[in-house]
Chain A
């Protein structure tokens, strides 16, 4: 529109030409580039396969490769580097691995450093965290803000004010060198197993070798689902056992796909009642055992190799009452822990409990294969001792084709690592040859470690958010330790979403002065941050090395250039160091490329003799030049180029080779000559160390023997009156399992995965019908801590009284109603710690009702939408 008085005599062509001139020319964003190279991949096979890392924290491993045409990933593939056989199986990927391309190249991945619009030093409008607008900033500005805040907060409040919970080895180097930070401790995944592995003599790892395992005749698959959780090789191993004639019994609230494949014999029990079931079985064996006529109990092993089973075999100084036999028979308190007692709690009929006990005791070659999940229960501190007692008394330790196996992270394949290299599949431990950087705030700890036991200067994972909100946390001796946390630094993981009580977590994140997240995606941590730094994935770095299971070592290469402006965690650490006055060489002693090459050079493979190792790769001077790294030539089994090109090395195996392994075999034969690393040198059914650890913390008081403690939010808590069996406000249990769509938060936003595996709440028709709920309805799930909406799958696959809500889905909180639309299970879970400070994910109680509001949109339509008002129009 012509303004009055301003002559606008020029014609449009001239005007637009002037505008274009001022822009610098017609082709803004393009520049002349001489045609120095061929046109890019045309799909006519001009690309190549590159070994591509899959690192999300599922605990298992598949081999993936990406077909890349000039920087563009076109297709995924899996292991075909060897002829496939049971002796030497290909390490095939799972559905998640196959979706890596679509996940990592999603349009919604973080691309640029971003700052929250209404933040300023001190916090600005903190209440807008999670709802604010964002401003794109440069890396320089972003790093200046981060360094500035670190300095200011350190100077004003001290290093303890910086909370960087499990921030990852790389970020921790800079922070450790800058004076340290408050870290977290506590078991996420392992429940109460880890203290047991440390103190009872039942170590980690502890499976028998797979060739031994497939000759097992009876498997008790106990609360485990490798088909979804550790997809790939574990299920294949069980199939071999089945083809060998093995019988499987499933003990679980859920008849899952692993069981569908293997067995019809399903004994449903409620979450958190495994301990009661075990006691009922032990009682049965005690009363029915007759060493002459009906031998059910392996007294020989119990007497020689364990402590705590009966009063005659207790450790020095123990209270004579603290023996398992007296407790189970009811001599301590008049209540026998018999099958009838157990049935009332676990839900399996008493006769079935007795039947199961006899079956396990009578089978020579039997294995109990269980998971971390059974121990991710409030107050389950002595559950591992109960499993140990059951296995010991039925004679299944230290013998071929028998075992107690926990966590399928080992692919049902135990024994010393035959190909040794970087042991962690998911956490990138950095600069392995360099001395670790201590964290001065936390006592006696390597920076960035994953700590399971209490430490000074560390907060238990259940208390992370309450420490921020209330200004104190529980110290190593159960004392209240004051703390003033002013900053939260997230990297490497996901806390807001993955710690219990998400709503509490959001409040905590709105309290501190500064929140920064370093991640690939706009996860819940990033949403509630002030500063967001986009990082590269493992595909965009100079490779990675890790083990597969016992027999494979993987070397992944760089697949693509960094996505948009993403930078490496290591680069961020170095830039931060420069701004903080720390020598960058402390953070990055050498380049990542050099580090990976070091790890390859250091990799060892066991020889056929089963005893000695040799280097895996041969390295020549030419190799060092070609890779442009430092090193020393060495002789190994394969060339370094062959390893790089294939991306995976498999050690050759066959049944009867020298790599077999039976856990505790030498111990069983001669426990005195081969003592375990426990106070008594024996397997500790009576474990004072665990009792001390727990009782010292003060959240619970336990006995040193596996006496049953009802979980804080377990089956018993669904009743307002247990004696009369009157149900309370939250009558249903929630089983919070791993789902195939994702590994924690990872993969969850890939549309292909959301299309395949909707995130549904699972109910039995016996619970759904009285509530007027039909398959496909939207339901509101309420716990004492929060509310969640989900679509429901009504099916007999789950036990009545129990429901399933899988873990890992990202929270999408509607703050007006307080309802989460994302299906985040932690919205429902409380954060009160019990026992040894593990997280009891599977002890969770709720009530459910049919939702009368608008039904939820499908998961495909809601792939990662940030909670702006418009997004839910």
Chain B
């Protein structure tokens, strides 16, 4: 895997994944106009079974948990006690999401190496290294090496508080979510976007447990749209910047994990990218195969 991959998400998908990723894909609806014209657009669900559909639950559970961990790990300064717990429990031995993706393998590689290096507990020096890395990559002062806000990647002027920020806040509002922060910060922080994806996954499980089909559909549509509009266009590039500039295996590993998570989730929801490929040679909006 190249260390400084900066390609578009879809070029990468085509290159690296072929069709092997389509196992979990659910044909969930209306983003392929040619194919779907005139067809019944209700979500195609696997055979309804009594009790829980475990494949379904496992997929959403995996998304919920991995996104939840990413949220905590990326939004906010390193939490020493929490990280100590992860290491002690051997969290990074495996990942319950996207486990056959090369990004996930790379993530486990880095995270495993890091875990080994702090086996027995997170010492002062090791923790200081994390704080330093976090500061250089995400905080500053001066030029942030991997600014963790979507709007910075969405435009070359590297500005925050832009249109993307408004759109993301609206997404949270639709699901009655706001920011815990007291300060005026943008909603499109990568950690917050993962938190949102985790929330939606959790609610999908809850809604299907009580058989609320309408709510399930609303949540599925939301996850697809949010991934396509707000995570897929920039997280792979951000992850590339982190992998290039990070000094600790932890942050490198988290970057790979973030990228793999987004790709896995996007593939699962058959996300058609709103952001076309860059090369512009007789290509436009790339669609994943069905």
Give Cα A532–Cα B139 distance, bound, in whole angstroms.
13
Interface string of A16-36 (1 = CB under 8 A from B): 111110111111111111110
Do A1 and B143 touch (CB < 8 A)?
no
CB distance from B45 to the nearest CB of A (A): 22
Give Cα A6–Cα B93 distance, bound, in whole angstroms.
13
Known: A19-B86, A30-B180. A752 touches B195 (CB 8 A): no
- 17 inter-chain pairs at a CB distance below 8 angstroms, sorted by A residue, are A2-B93, A15-B90, A18-B89, A19-B85, A22-B85, A23-B79, A26-B64, A30-B179, A32-B176, A42-B170, A105-B160, A110-B141, A560-B161, A563-B161, A864-B143, A866-B141, A870-B245
Give Cα A750–Cα B93 distance, bound, in whole angstroms.
45
Do A522 and B140 touch (CB < 8 A)?
yes
Do B161 and A26 touch (CB < 8 A)?
no
Do A39 and B170 touch (CB < 8 A)?
yes
Do A110 and B91 touch (CB < 8 A)?
no
Do A34 and B166 touch (CB < 8 A)?
no
Interface string of A425-444 (1 = CB under 8 A from B): 00000000000000000000
Give Cα A257–Cα B176 distance, bound, in whole angstroms.
55
CB distance from A764 to the nearest CB of B (A): 34
Q: Which of B68, B96, B141, B177 has the most CB of A within 10 A?
A: B141
Who on chain B is nearest to A39 by CB?
A: B170
Within 8 A of B (CB), among A845-869: 863-866, 868
Do A72 and B157 touch (CB < 8 A)?
no
| Chain B binder among A131-139, A485-493, A689-697, A781-789 | A131-139
Do A20 and B142 touch (CB < 8 A)?
no
* Residue from A3, A33, A72, A107 within 8 A of B177 (CB atoms): A33
| Chain A binder among B129-137, B215-223, B273-281 | B129-137
Total contacting residues, chain A, CB less than 8 A: 75
* Residue from B89, B116, B173, B192 within 8 A of A33 (CB atoms): B173
| Chain A binder among B15-23, B144-152, B229-237 | B144-152
Who on chain B is nearest to A102 by CB?
A: B157
B8 within 8 A of A: no
Instruction: Report the 8 A-B pairs with minimum CB-CB distance, sorted nearest first.
Output: A33-B178, A866-B142, A23-B72, A26-B68, A561-B184, A26-B198, A16-B65, A20-B68
Do A31 and B180 touch (CB < 8 A)?
yes
A74 within 8 A of B: yes
A231 within 8 A of B: no
Residues of B near A527 (CB, < 8 A) are: 142
* Residue from A20, A29, A107, A112 within 8 A of B191 (CB atoms): A29
* Residue from B93, B152, B189 within 8 A of A29 (CB atoms): B189
* Residue from A16, A532, A565, A866 within 8 A of B66 (CB atoms): A16
A12 within 8 A of B: yes
Within 8 A of A (CB), among B94-126: 94-96, 112, 115-116, 119
Known: A13-B65, A22-B85, A133-B132. A29 touches B91 (CB 8 A): no
Residues of B near A656 (CB, < 8 A) are: none
A624 within 8 A of B: no
Who on chain A is nearest to B139 by CB?
A: A136
Within 8 A of A (CB), among B183-230: 183-185, 189, 191-192, 195-196, 198-199, 201-202
Residues of A near B68 (CB, < 8 A) are: 16, 19-20, 23, 25-28
Do B149 and A107 touch (CB < 8 A)?
yes
Residues of A near B201 (CB, < 8 A) are: 26
B49 within 8 A of A: no
Do B179 and A20 touch (CB < 8 A)?
no
Within 8 A of B (CB), among A771-828: none
Residues of B near A865 (CB, < 8 A) are: 142-143
A108 within 8 A of B: yes
CB distance from B108 to the nearest CB of A (A): 10
Do B91 and A134 touch (CB < 8 A)?
no
Do A72 and B75 touch (CB < 8 A)?
no
Do B166 and A106 touch (CB < 8 A)?
no
Give Cα A72–Cα B186 distance, bound, in whole angstroms.
10
B127 within 8 A of A: no
Do A29 and B179 touch (CB < 8 A)?
yes
A713 within 8 A of B: no
* Residue from B82, B96, B152, B161 within 8 A of A16 (CB atoms): B96
Give Cα A522–Cα B179 distance, bound, in whole angstroms.
27
Interface string of B63-75 (1 = CB under 8 A from A): 0111111011001
Known: A1-B115, A26-B64. A35 touches B173 (CB 8 A): yes
Do B65 and A39 touch (CB < 8 A)?
no
A751 within 8 A of B: yes
Known: A23-B68, A39-B173, A74-B163. A12 touches B142 (CB 8 A): no
Do A107 and B180 touch (CB < 8 A)?
no
Give Cα A414–Cα B65 distance, bound, in whole angstroms.
69
Who on chain A is nearest to B108 by CB?
A: A1
A838 within 8 A of B: no
B290 within 8 A of A: no
Give Cα A690–Cα B176 distance, bound, in whole angstroms.
70
Do A16 and B157 touch (CB < 8 A)?
no
Do A866 and B177 touch (CB < 8 A)?
no
Within 8 A of A (CB), among B39-88: 58, 61-62, 64-69, 71-72, 75-77, 79, 82, 85-86
Give Cα A136–Cα B78 distance, bound, in whole angstroms.
12
Give Cα A99–Cα B132 distance, bound, in whole angstroms.
33
CB distance from A459 to the nearest CB of B (A): 28
CB distance from A582 to the nearest CB of B (A): 27
Further pairs besides A2-B90, A562-B183: 18, Cβ < 8 Å: A1-B93, A13-B58, A13-B96, A19-B89, A23-B82, A27-B68, A28-B72, A28-B75, A30-B195, A33-B178, A72-B166, A101-B159, A107-B158, A111-B140, A112-B140, A135-B131, A563-B184, A564-B185
CB distance from B285 to the nearest CB of A (A): 21
Residues of A near B179 (CB, < 8 A) are: 29-31
Give Cα A133–Cα B145 distance, bound, in whole angstroms.
14
B283 within 8 A of A: no
